[in-house]
Amino acid sequence: MSTAAYFIGLGAASAAALLGAVLPARRRLLAAAVLSAAACLAALVGAGDVLVSGHAFSVHTAQVLPLTGVDLSLDPLGALFVAATAVVGLAVSCYSVGYGVHATPSRIATATLPAFLATLLLVPAAASVATFMVAWELMALTSLLALLTDHRRRRETRDAAQWYAAMTHIGAAAILLGLVLLAAHAGGQSFAAIAAHRRQLSLPLTSVVFVLTLFGFASKAGAVPLHVWLPRAHPEAPSPVSALMSGAMVNLGVYGILRVGEDLLGGGEMWWWLVVAALGVVSAVFGALHAAASTDTKRLLAYSTVDNVGLVLIGVGAAGALAAGGQQALAGLVLLAALFHLVNHALFKGCLFLGAGALQHAAGTRDLDRLGGLARKMPATAIFFGAGALSISALPGLNGFASEWLLFEGLLQGFASRSAVTVAALLAGVATLAITGGLTATAFVKALGVGFLGQPRSEGAGAAREVGPSMLIGMGFLAGGCVVLGIVPGVVLPVIDRATTAGLVAGASRAIRPGLGLALASVHSEIDPGLLVGGLLVALVVAWGAVRLAPRSAELRSPRRAAAWGCGRDLQTARMEITATSFAEPLQRVFADVLRPDHDLEVTHTAESRYFPEAITFHQRVDDAVERVVYRPVMAAVAWWGHLARRVPNGSVHRYLAFGFATLVLVLVVLA
Amino acid sequence: MQLRHVDAGSCNGCEIEIAQAFAPVCDAGRFGARLVASPRHADGLLVTGVVTKNMAVPLQMTFEATPRPRVVVACGDCAVNGGLFAGAYGVAGSVHDVVPVDVEIPGCPPEPSEITEALRRLTGR
Amino acid sequence: MIGTLATLVATSPGLLARVGASALQVVAVCVGGPLLLGLMGKIRSRAEGRVGPPITQGLLDLRKLVRKEAIRAEHTSAVAALAPLVLVSSAALCAAITPLVTARPVIAGGADVFAVVYLLLMGSVALALGGLDAGTAFGGMGSSRAMTVGAISEPALLVAVLALAIQAHTSNLPGIVNASLSHPEWLASPQRLLALAALVVVVIAETGRIPVDNPSTHLELTMIHEAMILEYAGPDLALVTVGEAMRLGLLLGLVANLFFPWGIDASGGGLAMLVGLVALGAKTAAIAASVALVEVSTAKLRLFRVPELLAGGFVLAAVAVTTGLVAR
Ligand code: SF4
């Protein structure tokens, strides 16, 4: 059944792409959306079946790709990623109907979204090097096209697409190199053959393969310092695309690391995984800091993706290191936590990106400085965005808390490990978890509080109205998922646990106790979010009742509405409100060494006296320090080299002939 | 009894005496009186000085911002009846011309002990 | 949740006793928090040569506040009304699950370090969102500052307690307290002392005391915490005040029981709980008194010096963890 369902899903997504490209403007949007929602449902059924039963399926056809054929196989690890993609995809498909209503997107734009979705569903099922690389490149291509949707209107989109194309292709080249190297030495290009021959591979070779593929996959996952495309591409892409990119595509980077490192190479050396964990630590802290400093909604969300991918990589790295150190059960627990967080991240980040899209749709801007007051105008969007924001801040009762607790517990148990390096890595991981917790909460209080509360700070925000039902259903579906997984996390853990059994890691089935809450079997550590939520509600009702029932004269019963207390000023305008920039300012000052904000203060004085300023302008921007320090010099060097090279071809035929002759002589000399 | 202090146009003489009322000798604090930062937190206003034209609206707003039940204490001759500045240029009136006054503390300036005495009457201790 | 409740009822005959014990803890914190604040105020006044308000003044003020009128700024959303309730209920839940009077697990499946830290964060987030809701300049400023301080102090809190968790091999708070009861020699271990120092810094920051914040300032520009709550009146203000006092009581109680667990009810029984209650009161009062004495003799730090203090706290906590790991 799983095979059929999965392929129906792939087929429906492709059909959606096709219909999106050929149908007339009025029909294509709805047709593509319905078909891709059906595709997601089917894929979810297929993947769910694999996850629940634990039985993988595999298919080989020689017809589709010449020479190599296509190998597809869905094991529980891949199925988890397919399922996560399908859930986000379902919400996105629904949402895209309302998102495209006002300005019907072009044929290509309508077609690329389902096509992108199809490739996302395809990659985790690829079971040979050739199939994998084809699927991976298709994903890169369709996502690039989807990102370029708005390129006619915005210059920044083209810029972002260039960054994305460059990063993703450097990464793909590294992956290709690594996998080809692997296939050449393992005597076959199907993943099964490689896994069967891994014992015959030399350590230097596997290490080179791992590092090459890690580079490629980390650039897709958005790990620092390979994250630079993320904060550019996510804001510029249409929101359904950003939701898919952040909720599904970056996951596949993690998938690749797990597939190659744990499954194909069988776990390998401890240092591999320590490198992964180190990438995670750097990404998490860097991402969280930038998210706290960002004032553009989607840029904030993009950096927060870097942060969360970092947390997942910490878990993946710690699991690998523990497994390499022989602690299988513990490794399984940590990996389970990491994958659970990944699933949760797909839910809340998908929800948040869709919410950000709704904001942009309604208020015409993503700039938090110019939003405000939207909670009263768009209450449903505010609730869904709020659910996402509070989940990502790991507040108890929501899913971010559940997975961060599990990760925390897993890392904590790992401290019993004998290896000092592992312990140091775990310590760094726990400290990172703690630091990013506070920073993330700050970032999302800013997004929620400055964006939705207070007074509108622009005409667009003042005129905003609630978005349509299809967009709300899309957001609400993911927000509901956040709440459900937050209250009864225990129900999905056994399913996710199937996926952790890939490769060396033994799975956590014995490390957790079954139940609705979270409980570790070996030690006395458990938490039942449902009970916490229940307690919270009881306390809330008691407190509310105590206040309501207090003896009070009848005229004072209900709260009075009065003008906000502005210290007696009779003029209170929205311009006096705090903006996102000023909200982030204290934190930015504290972490100025990492964020390196650029300030620009210009004071012009009146002609009569230098004591009286005429105008003061202040500019501030927080650029990505990694981009400035690492990428700009490289790009400058390449540009310089290009300039130099331009002098060589000056158009003279004689010169070209001379070049040809010189080359010929050189070749002959070398060969002789 | 929490009070929000409003300087509606005083010469600052009354402020000095109020500060003294809360200093060690009189220590109005021990009877449960306290000056707070926001009228929302207050049970009343402690108004000093004659109400100038510029301060009439803010005084009115501060009164509105105070949750009921609320009291208004006019501290000093200026606040009670205009005192030295009655009828002067830029003066809107005394406190009771703008908001209803419940307690008056006469004197120019009133002694710290008199202020404490008035506050004690309010806190009931 | 219902299933868990059912199993709880089925497996533990003492469920009522447990619920009773947690209710006792909540009430103790609810009443004790304002009393501790009153005590700190009293000590402060005495040190300044004044008599000061009675220790019960906080409770009296609460009684008065709930009877007053609530005022909500126009244009506020439901957040302004919910924030005080969430603050109080998160603090109450913390009080219910933390080992304060009794070290027996009050709610199985909740008494975790991580849960307590994130429940506290929940209160902070609610308050910060409440501060932003009215759209006033100072409310937003206070939220921004409070979140900045919290962003550094919450990690320090988590890592400081982690040092104890590693020593006790569990992140379960009653587990840590029971382990330290049976290993009195731990109490003088270097990692404990370092963690204690870190926790003190955190508690001062979280409860907004000098030198981090000045609770009695009237100048809006210098406010951190007070600026967020300028807008609350009457019952809302009562909730916020009691919530804040509960957080103070809770944190002091946590510090007291993690580092000086003696007297806490470890066995069960009415008398033991009474002893636990008295011990909790005495220990927290002692810590509160010393915090107040430090407060009188220190000046408030400049706002941008505060993160340095807190970062120092975080480093202390991290060193505590490392020491603990090296000492194994
Ligand atoms: S009453 Fe006297 S001291 Fe007080 S404000 Fe008026 S003039 Fe100044």
What is the predicted pLDDT for the residue at C9? 47
Distance (angstroms) between ligand 1 centre and the Cα of A475 equals: 62
What is the predicted pLDDT for the residue at C1? 43
Quote the CA–CA distance of A378 and A371 in Å, as a whole number. Answer: 12
Quote the CA–CA distance of A13 and A9 in Å, as a whole number. Answer: 6
Which are the contacts of C191, defined by CB distance < 8 A and separation ≥ 6? Answer: C163, C164, C167, C320, C321, C323, C324, C327
Quote the CA–CA distance of C72 and A562 in Å, as a whole number. Answer: 6
DSSP A524: S
Quote the CA–CA distance of C52 and A187 in Å, as a whole number. Answer: 86
What is the predicted pLDDT for the residue at A482? 92
Residue A29 in contact with residue A104, Cβ under 8 Å?
yes
pLDDT: is B98 or A464 the higher one? B98
Quote the CA–CA distance of A392 and A347 in Å, as a whole number. Answer: 10
Count of domains in chain C? 1
What is the predicted pLDDT for the residue at C51? 87
* CA A519 to mean position of chain CA atoms: 28
Residue A437 in contact with residue A291, Cβ under 8 Å?
no
The SS3 of residue B73 is strand
- Chain C CB contacts of B21 under 8 Å are none
Question: How much of chain A, in percent, has pLDDT values that exceed 90?
Answer: 29
Lowest mean pLDDT among A33-37, A233-237, A265-269, A288-292: A265-269
The SS3 of residue A154 is coil
Question: How much of chain A, in percent, has pLDDT values that exceed 70?
Answer: 96
What is the predicted pLDDT for the residue at A522? 64
Tokens at residue A461, please?
Answer: 């925000």
b/e burial code for range A611-649 (CB count within 10 A of at least 16 → b)? eeeeeeeeeeebebbbbeeebeeeeeeeeeeeeeeeeee
Strand partners, A518: A527
Question: What domain range includes position B60?
Answer: 2-123
Lowest mean pLDDT among A118-132, A278-292, A583-597, B3-17: A583-597
Selection from A454, A366, A423 nearest residue C133 by Cα: A454
- Chain B CB contacts of C237 under 8 Å are 40-41
Lowest mean pLDDT among A286-290, A626-630, C110-114: C110-114
Lowest mean pLDDT among A23-37, C80-94, C251-265: A23-37
* CA A256 to mean position of chain CA atoms: 15
- Out of B24, B32, B41, the one facing C57 most closely (by C-beta) is B32
> Which of B78, B91, B94, B114 is the best mutation target for the ligand 1 pocket, counting ligand atoms within 8 Å of the beta carbon and taking the most?
B78
The verdict on A4 touching C (C-beta cutoff 8 Å) is: no
Chains that touch C (3 or more CB pairs under 8 A): A, B
DSSP letters, C298-327, are: -PPPPGGGHHHHHHHHHHHHHHHHHHHHHH
Mark yes or no for CB contact C135/A574 under 8 Å.
Answer: yes
Atom of ligand 1 nearest to the CA of B76: 1
Which conformational region is residue B32 in: left (phi greater than 0), alpha (psi within -120 to 50 degrees), or beta?
A: left
C45-100 residue pLDDT tens: 888 888 888 899 889 889 888 888 888 888 888 888 899 999 999 999 988 888 88
A142-200 residue pLDDT tens: 999 888 877 777 788 888 888 899 999 999 999 999 999 988 888 788 888 888 888 88
Residue A512: phi and psi, rounded to 5, are -120, 150
Is the pLDDT at A310 greater than 90? The verdict is: yes
- Out of A375, A449, A585, the one facing C128 most closely (by C-beta) is A449
> Crossing angle of helices A76-99/A469-487, nearest 10°?
150
- Chain B CB contacts of A570 under 8 Å are 57-58, 61
Lowest mean pLDDT among A299-303, B74-78, C298-302, C308-312: C298-302
What is the predicted pLDDT for the residue at A252? 93
Quote the CA–CA distance of A539 and A532 in Å, as a whole number. Answer: 10
**In which band, very low, low, confident or very high, does the pLDDT at C10 lie, cut at 50, 70 and 90?**
very low
The SS3 of residue B51 is strand
Tokens at residue C87, please?
Answer: 């603050």
Quote the CA–CA distance of A342 and A252 in Å, as a whole number. Answer: 10
Peptide bond into C211 cis (omega under 30): yes
Tell me, yes or no, whether C9 lies in a domain.
no
Selection from A303, A312, A499 nearest residue A403 by Cα: A312
What is the predicted pLDDT for the residue at A505? 56
> Which of B20, B48, B52 is the best mutation target for the ligand 1 pocket, counting ligand atoms within 8 Å of the beta carbon and taking the most?
B48
Quote the CA–CA distance of A209 and A205 in Å, as a whole number. Answer: 6
Tokens at residue A620, please?
Answer: 């501030």
The upper half-sphere exposure of residue C266, i.e. CA atoms within 13 Å in the direction of its Cβ, equals 15
Distances (CA, A) of A111 to A16, A33, A257: 7, 10, 30
Distance (angstroms) between ligand 1 centre and the Cα of C45 equals: 29
pLDDT: is B71 or A652 the higher one? B71
What is the predicted pLDDT for the residue at A509? 57
* CA A500 to mean position of chain CA atoms: 20
Selection from A235, A353, A231, A246 nearest residue A624 by Cα: A231
C 225-244: CB under 8 A from B: 226, 230-234, 237
**Structure ipTM over 0.95, yes or no:** no
The SS3 of residue A73 is strand
Tokens at residue A76, please?
Answer: 């529980």
C 200-229: CB under 8 A from A: 220
Tokens at residue A132, please?
Answer: 């994998």
Quote the CA–CA distance of C157 and A284 in Å, as a whole number. Answer: 19
Tell me, yes or no, whether C146 lies in a domain.
yes
Q: Where are the beta strands (DSSP E) in chain C?
A: 71-73
What is the predicted pLDDT for the residue at A389? 94
DSSP B33: -
Is the pLDDT at A504 greater than 60? The verdict is: no
The SS3 of residue C108 is coil
**In which band, very low, low, confident or very high, does the pLDDT at C13 lie, cut at 50, 70 and 90?**
low
What is the DSSP pairing of strand A560-562 with strand C71-73?
A: parallel
Is the pLDDT at C130 greater than 60? The verdict is: yes
Distances (CA, A) of A544 to B35, C133, C179: 28, 20, 38
The SS3 of residue B20 is helix
Residue A377 in contact with residue A118, Cβ under 8 Å?
no
Task: Give the nearest chain A residue to B7 (CA atoms).
Answer: A568
Give the domain CATH number at B103: 3.40.50.12280
Residue of B30, B63, B66, B116 for testing the chain C interface, max C β-carbons within 10 Å: B30
Is the pLDDT at B84 greater than 50? The verdict is: yes
Residue C314 in contact with residue C159, Cβ under 8 Å?
yes
The SS3 of residue B34 is strand
Select the highest-mean-pLDDT range: A298-307, A498-507, C275-284.
Answer: A298-307
The C-alpha of B42 sits at a distance from chain A's nearest C-alpha, in angstroms, of: 13
Residue of B61, B64, B68, B98 for testing the chain A interface, max A β-carbons within 10 Å: B61
Is the pLDDT at C259 greater than 90? The verdict is: no
Tokens at residue C274, please?
Answer: 């009474």
Mark yes or no for CB contact B37/C237 under 8 Å.
Answer: no
Quote the CA–CA distance of A211 and C254 in Å, as a whole number. Answer: 46
Is the pLDDT at C136 greater than 70? The verdict is: yes
Is the pLDDT at A525 greater than 80? The verdict is: no
The SS3 of residue B101 is coil
* CA B79 to mean position of chain CA atoms: 7
Peptide bond into B69 cis (omega under 30): yes
The C-alpha of B96 sits at a distance from chain C's nearest C-alpha, in angstroms, of: 23
- Chain A CB contacts of B62 under 8 Å are 568
pLDDT: is A26 or C318 the higher one? C318
Selection from B42, B39, B53, B50 nearest residue B14 by Cα: B50
Tell me, yes or no, whether C178 lies in a domain.
yes
- Chain C CB contacts of A540 under 8 Å are 85-86, 89
Residue B111: phi and psi, rounded to 5, are -70, 150
Count of domains in chain B? 1
> Crossing angle of helices A420-445/A270-293, nearest 10°?
20
> Crossing angle of helices A297-324/A420-445, nearest 10°?
160
Tokens at residue A377, please?
Answer: 């105008």
What is the predicted pLDDT for the residue at A250? 92
Is the pLDDT at A598 greater than 70? The verdict is: yes
Task: Give the nearest chain C residue to B1 (CA atoms).
Answer: C61
> Crossing angle of helices C78-97/A529-548, nearest 10°?
120
Residue C118 in contact with residue A395, Cβ under 8 Å?
yes
Q: ∠A65-A67-A70 over CA atoms, to 5°?
A: 40
Selection from A189, A190, A178 nearest residue A215 by Cα: A178
Closest residue (by CA) to atom 6 of ligand 1? B78
A65-117 residue pLDDT tens: 777 778 888 888 899 999 999 999 999 999 988 877 666 677 777 888 889 99
The SS3 of residue A189 is coil
Is the pLDDT at A374 greater than 90? The verdict is: no
Residue A216 in contact with residue A175, Cβ under 8 Å?
yes
C 166-205: CB under 8 A from A: 166, 169-172, 175
Residue of B5, B27, B36, B41 for testing the chain C interface, max C β-carbons within 10 Å: B41
Span A534-555, average pLDDT: 84
Other beta carbons less than 10 A from residue A147's beta carbon: 27
Nearest-Å Rg of the Cα atoms of chain A is 27
Mark yes or no for CB contact C60/B29 under 8 Å.
Answer: no
Is the pLDDT at C148 greater than 70? The verdict is: yes
Question: What domain range includes position C126?
Answer: 14-326
Is the pLDDT at A253 greater than 60? The verdict is: yes
Other beta carbons less than 10 A from residue A609's beta carbon: 8
Selection from A10, A12, A96 nearest residue A47 by Cα: A10
What residues line ligand 1, using a CB cutoff of 6 Å?
Answer: B 10-11, 13-14, 48-49, 76-78, 83-84, 108-109
The C-alpha of B105 sits at a distance from chain C's nearest C-alpha, in angstroms, of: 23
What is the predicted pLDDT for the residue at A356? 92
